[in-house]
Amino acid sequence: MKRREFLSAGLLGTLALSGCMPKLKVEQRGEYRYEIRLQAADFELIPGTQTPGLGFNGQYPSPIIRAKQGRPVIIDVINELDEPTTIHWHGIRIDIAMDGVPFLSQKPIMPGEHFRYEFIPPDAGTFWYHPHMNSVVQLGKGLVGLLLVEEADSSQFSPEDYAADLPLMLKNWHLNDDGSFKPLSIPRYAARMGTPGNYETINGLNRPAMTVPANAWVRLRFANVDNTVVYKLRVKDRPAYIVSIDANPLSEPKPLEHHSIGSGMRVDIAVKTPAAGEEIVIENGKGRLYFEFMRLRAEDRPLKKATATTAPMPLPNPLSEPELDKAEKKYFVFEWEGAVTPADKAGKSKHAFWTINRRAWEGMGPNNIPEPLAKLDLGKSYIFDLKNNTPHMHPIHMHGVMFKVIKSNKKNIEPFFTDTVLMEKNERVQIAFVADNPGRWMYHCHVIEHMKTGLMGYIEIS
């Protein structure tokens, strides 16, 4: 088999050769240290072609950053691009100074400059990292990577309860047949669901197949790092279970029929593999139809631990439970403005298609920070009432907090914690959380073109 057709999950399930990993140094005192460089680089995405992308350490798939719950992480980021950047650690509840939003939480990292990010992840799970500047281009050309936080030591759960742990980074590229880029954003699509890509990949491969241990539980960590696409996942003709949504374990395994993840969202799925030689097909739904997305082939492999009867469940993360009876309500309406501002002060056309509470994001700079969408009191419980008055889906993401989805007018909700909620067209959702992390936190749609054309703001907790 060619490497692009079959990749072993034995190397910690990363689908990566040794050259795809950043330099990692684990100190005796338990710190995890990384050095990551942002570089222009050519990738082979379509076999036999080269794509002029942007990569962390010049690579795609990007280096996987591994950390451990409650242990310090130090990441030195060196900008070798010809434009400014920052790095946001999506879903991690950290100090505002480390959140990676230009001007709001840090100065941009200019070309040739270096910035050190330091934090202690309080939560375990599947997270990811990406720039928060010129996002359509920097993310669209490859600057996306996974951050996996291993669960703290416990007698109740160990990551080794899974015989394999597969990080699966989903991205749909905008490519011509020769590997060059098509336009990453077209205004008429930005005003709808976003400019669609045309070349689907999982860890940089189209419809990959991987080997996994036979007759054992494996954990599939799906992360949607795409600018636009909603993926609708299912395991064909075999029982599978959702064990975690956006890094938050459920109270018990939930049987998987299908599960949709919008841009920025993640889901961990547990599946018991079949006998050696048999395969599992994983599909992606488009409309009412499903198509093969990837497959797993079971092989005989020694197991470190006996296989459990049911899907192993990680412990809940240490989140504050909102007091719903005392919570203050805030209302947010997401709407389609449907207008194009003819030009900005420099004479350049400036698109503004989307609004939050009839306000499009104004942009910001070193001496220009707009007013927040809401000011919250530290330690207080809040319910946000979100109303999507548009005919398109929006994955609404909040930095700095995990919120609890408690109600929807379109589907039955069993309350769960997350950092991003996928809102259907004309859906009204209520989320609740404790404002326990002080700072100015971005609050936006994670369809990157929606974010860049108005559907963004921030909340202030103080």
The number of beta carbons lying within 10 Å of the beta carbon of residue 2 is 7
Residue 27's pLDDT is 55
Q: Which residues pair with 267 in a beta bridge?
A: 222, 245
Query: Do 6-150 and 159-299 share a fold?
Result: yes
Domain-by-domain residue ranges, the chain? Answer: 6-150, 159-299, 328-461
Phi/psi at 97 (nearest 5 deg)?
A: -65, -15
> What CATH code would you report for 6-150?
2.60.40.420
Can you point out the beta strands (E) in 109-238? 114-119, 125-130, 145-150, 164-173, 199-202, 209-213, 217-224, 231-235
Phi/psi at 447 (nearest 5 deg)?
A: -70, 110
Class of domain 328-461: mainly beta
SS3 at position 187: helix
Q: What is the pLDDT along the chain (462 residues), one digit of tens a residue?
A: 333 433 433 333 344 333 344 555 555 467 899 999 999 999 999 999 999 999 999 999 999 999 999 999 999 999 999 999 999 999 999 999 999 999 999 999 999 999 999 999 999 999 999 999 999 999 999 999 999 999 999 999 999 999 999 999 999 999 999 999 999 999 889 989 999 999 999 999 999 999 999 999 999 999 999 999 999 999 999 999 999 999 999 999 999 999 999 999 999 999 999 999 999 999 999 988 999 999 999 999 988 887 888 999 999 999 999 999 999 999 999 998 776 665 667 777 767 788 899 898 888 888 889 999 999 999 999 999 999 999 999 999 999 999 999 999 999 999 999 999 999 999 999 999 999 999 999 999 999 999 999 999 999 999
Strands 73-79 and 32-43: parallel
Strands 231-235 and 259-261: antiparallel
DSSP label at 156?
S
Q: Are 455 and 192 in contact (CB under 8 A)?
A: no
| CATH H-level, domain 159-299: superfamily | Cupredoxins -  blue copper proteins (2.60.40.420)
Q: Are 200 and 232 in contact (CB under 8 A)?
A: no
DSSP label at 306?
P
Residue 306's pLDDT is 77
Phi/psi at 343 (nearest 5 deg)?
A: -165, 155
What is the reported pTM?
0.92
| 16: CB partners within 8 A, 6+ apart | 61, 63, 64, 203
Phi/psi at 188 (nearest 5 deg)?
A: -65, -25
SS3 at position 20: helix
| Closest to 335 (Cα-Cα) out of 195, 191, 443, 442 | 191
